[in-house]
Amino acid sequence: MFLLILCLVLTTGVLGFPWFRNDIPNGYKVPDPCTGQTGQIWEGVGHNQEPGGGPRNPFGLDFKTVGFKWTKELCQKDSDKDGRTNGEELGDPGCTWTKGGTPSAAASGHPGGFHADLKKIFFFVYVSCQVRDSDLDEFFRHENQAYPPSLSQFGQLRLSSKSDLLVSLEKMCVIVTEIPDVDAIILDGAVIVNILKPRFCKTFEDYSKQDSLKASNRGKRGKGIRRRVQADSTIPGNWESFLRIDDNKTELFAYLAEQLLTLTPSVQTTVVSTKGSKVVCNKPDKNNGNLSLCNHEAADTRTLLHVGIAVKSGMQKIMIRTVDTDVVVIAVSAVHKLNITCLWMAFGVGINFRYIPVHEIALFMGPSKSNALLFFNAFSGCDQVSSFSNRGKKTAWDTWLSFDAVTEDFKLLSDKPNEDCVNEAALNIERFVVLMYDRTSECLGVDAA
Ligand SMILES: [Ca+2]
């Protein structure tokens, strides 16, 4: 008698009870998400364990909430948040099934098998696979999601706060608020036109002539407005919306480049400006080095090319106007190669505007580490690379400070980001990642950790 009662207890639970499986479409044919093998069935649909019993999975909890019935609400819900409704997974996409009827389709997924929450996913996989002949080590060697969490967050880039890195970098220099003495100023045109609103200007010609644009060293995406940029065209009321259209910007930058040259007397100041892939200058006889036909699409690297040409022209004190942390990083990495005396950043807007002496940061870091910063910045998360989950720039920076051996590997990959170098540097890079998540760990690789 005791044994009989014990068996009943072990098989009790939501959808662990066989008769509950009559209350959902295809209740006896829910595929096992663990093995991935055709024909393998998950008996305890509402539970984390395949035979049923134990903790309920999200579908089991939702099933209980609606009173253990197949309701439209339960059918339309995506209990395990995998992007498919319970109805879609159980073969009732139209939510028309009633008890005793024939579902319109076969069950194609488990409605409670996988969570968006990584910890729970691993918990389910571990619990369910250990009762089978599955090799867990082999399983965890492979990505098991459509969107590997090491690369993205549900298919989207995991963006970090890039400016957090500046906090660490600015501790290595003295920030000033007075404009420093410089020979040349490099302006990122896209930044300038975003900062300088047209205010009272009615036409593009007015805009190009406003004092603030000429003295611009002080200086979100969505639906935009397309407007022809001509001298007498009226400036649209919504400047941000106008700037969201690439064609508008292309025309505006070309127009402003011409106007800047026309409006700036060459005896006073030399103006060099990119105009599409070309470089134009208000001194026609000026040699612009190799800048013309420049194929750098991003302004941040192109800006540094201008710095290089200015240095070759004999200028030693240069300032870049930007709002982008990436430009600061590239500048720090380039200072030692440029052989420049002073490289300033006029950075930020409003009350956060300041002058950052990039040459001081590079001097403090030294040539190797300055160069290594380039890969460090890309690896820890940038515009094109996901940041690490729950580990931002500050954690990455602090980890680097405590693990200097990785500097040479970061430097190697900054100089030569090719496959051979990745393989060569992988050992220390993996160790770096382990330390980012656990400073006390002695594991060398991420799999071991
Ligand atoms: Ca689902």
15: alpha, beta or left, given left = phi > 0 and alpha = psi -120 to 50? left
How many angstroms is it from 386 CA to the middle of ligand 1?
Answer: 25
| Between 406 and 220, residue with greater pLDDT | 406
How many angstroms is it from 129 CA to the middle of ligand 1?
Answer: 20
| Between 16 and 304, residue with greater pLDDT | 304
How many angstroms is it from 120 CA to the middle of ligand 1?
Answer: 15
How many angstroms is it from 63 CA to the middle of ligand 1?
Answer: 13
For residues 209 and 255, what is the distance between their CA atoms, to the nearest angstrom? Answer: 12
Both tokens assigned to 421:
């170098």
Mean pLDDT of 271-298: 59
Residue 80 above 80 pLDDT?
Answer: yes
pLDDT band with cut points at 50, 70 and 90 for residue 26: very high
How many angstroms is it from 70 CA to the middle of ligand 1?
Answer: 15
How many angstroms is it from 62 CA to the middle of ligand 1?
Answer: 12
How many angstroms is it from 116 CA to the middle of ligand 1?
Answer: 10
Q: What is the pairing mode between strands 184-187 and 317-322?
A: parallel
How many angstroms is it from 382 CA to the middle of ligand 1?
Answer: 32
Mean pLDDT of 74-84: 90
Whole-number percent of the chain with pLDDT over 70: 71
pLDDT, position 7: 30
How many angstroms is it from 390 CA to the middle of ligand 1?
Answer: 25
pLDDT, position 3: 34
Q: Say which range, 123-137, 169-183, 224-238, has the weakest mean pLDDT.
A: 224-238
pLDDT band with cut points at 50, 70 and 90 for residue 144: low
| Between 270 and 32, residue with greater pLDDT | 32
Q: Do residues 86 and 75 lie in contact, with contact meaning Cβ atoms separated by under 8 Å? A: yes
Give the number of residues written for the chain: 449
How many angstroms is it from 388 CA to the middle of ligand 1?
Answer: 26
CA torsion, ordered 163, 167, 173, 178, to nearest 10 deg: 60
pLDDT, position 222: 40
How many angstroms is it from 74 CA to the middle of ligand 1?
Answer: 11
Average pLDDT, the chain: 78
How many angstroms is it from 139 CA to the middle of ligand 1?
Answer: 22
For residues 199 and 384, what is the distance between their CA atoms, to the nearest angstrom? Answer: 34
How many angstroms is it from 131 CA to the middle of ligand 1?
Answer: 24
pLDDT band with cut points at 50, 70 and 90 for residue 433: very high
How many angstroms is it from 78 CA to the middle of ligand 1?
Answer: 4
Contacts of 283 (CB under 8 A, 6+ apart): 266, 270
pLDDT, position 312: 84
List the one residue out of 103, 104, 102, 128 whose CA is nearest residue 114: 128
pLDDT, position 396: 94
Both tokens assigned to 62:
């939702």
pLDDT, position 285: 59
For residues 222 and 241, what is the distance between their CA atoms, to the nearest angstrom? Answer: 8
How many angstroms is it from 48 CA to the middle of ligand 1?
Answer: 15
pLDDT band with cut points at 50, 70 and 90 for residue 62: very high
For residue 47, give the 3-state DSSP assignment.
Answer: strand
pLDDT, position 14: 45
Residue 432 above 70 pLDDT?
Answer: yes
How many angstroms is it from 146 CA to the middle of ligand 1?
Answer: 14
DSSP labels for 423-447? HHHHHHHHHHHHHHH-TT---SSTT
Q: What is the pairing mode between strands 354-357 and 342-347?
A: antiparallel
pLDDT, position 1: 36
Residue 46 above 70 pLDDT?
Answer: yes
How many angstroms is it from 110 CA to the middle of ligand 1?
Answer: 7
Mean pLDDT of 169-197: 81
How many angstroms is it from 13 CA to the middle of ligand 1?
Answer: 21
How many angstroms is it from 92 CA to the middle of ligand 1?
Answer: 12
For residue 338, give the 3-state DSSP assignment.
Answer: helix
Residue 404 above 50 pLDDT?
Answer: yes
Q: Hey, which of 101-115, 164-178, 435-449 has the most confident mean pLDDT?
A: 164-178
pLDDT band with cut points at 50, 70 and 90 for residue 9: very low
How many angstroms is it from 69 CA to the middle of ligand 1?
Answer: 17
| 11: number of Cβ within 10 Å | 14
How many angstroms is it from 80 CA to the middle of ligand 1?
Answer: 5
How many angstroms is it from 115 CA to the middle of ligand 1?
Answer: 9
How many angstroms is it from 389 CA to the middle of ligand 1?
Answer: 23
For residue 388, give the 3-state DSSP assignment.
Answer: strand
How many angstroms is it from 8 CA to the middle of ligand 1?
Answer: 30
Helix (H) and strand (E) counts for the chain?
18, 6
How many angstroms is it from 135 CA to the middle of ligand 1?
Answer: 26
How many angstroms is it from 149 CA to the middle of ligand 1?
Answer: 18
Helix-strand-coil percent breakdown of the chain, rounded to 5?
A: 45, 10, 50
For residues 395 and 311, what is the distance between their CA atoms, to the nearest angstrom? Answer: 35
How many angstroms is it from 87 CA to the middle of ligand 1?
Answer: 8
pLDDT band with cut points at 50, 70 and 90 for residue 305: confident
